[in-house]
Amino acid sequence: MRKEHQNCGAIFAAVTVLSLVTASAFAFGLSDEDYDYLKAKQIERSDAPMRDLSPKERTRVHDLINDPQTASDPSARDRNVKDALNLFLEHQLWEKEHPGELWDAPKR
């Protein structure tokens, strides 16, 4: 009976570690294929706004690049990605002009 509990505990620990590793691998939302797409559009990893994107913004860019609704319309996908990156750049510029503040923080 005790050995069964140890085995269950070991299995549970292994599953927990595996799920954490898997989750952290996708935490920033952009795959190598996403970066290949962006590079084809002359957007490098080191370009603004890419280097300062939050994990949530990276996930949003990934979702736009891989959106099944625009899979058959590359120009719509390109426009959606470009619009999102422009918006993220506007947010980054605003935050640089207003140190210590966030663009989306509620006004006091």
Is a pLDDT exceeding 60 seen at residue 21?
Answer: no
3-state secondary structure of 9: helix
Whole-number Å distance between alpha carbons of 64 and 3: 49
Domain ranges of the chain: 28-97
Q: Is the CB of residue 37 less than 8 Å from the CB of residue 50?
A: no
Each residue of 83-106: pLDDT tens digit? 999 999 999 999 999 998 877 777
91 in Cβ contact with 54 (< 8 Å): no
pLDDT at 71 over 90: yes
| Structure-model confidence comparison of residues 38 and 7, the more confident one | 38
104 versus 1: which is more confidently predicted?
Answer: 104
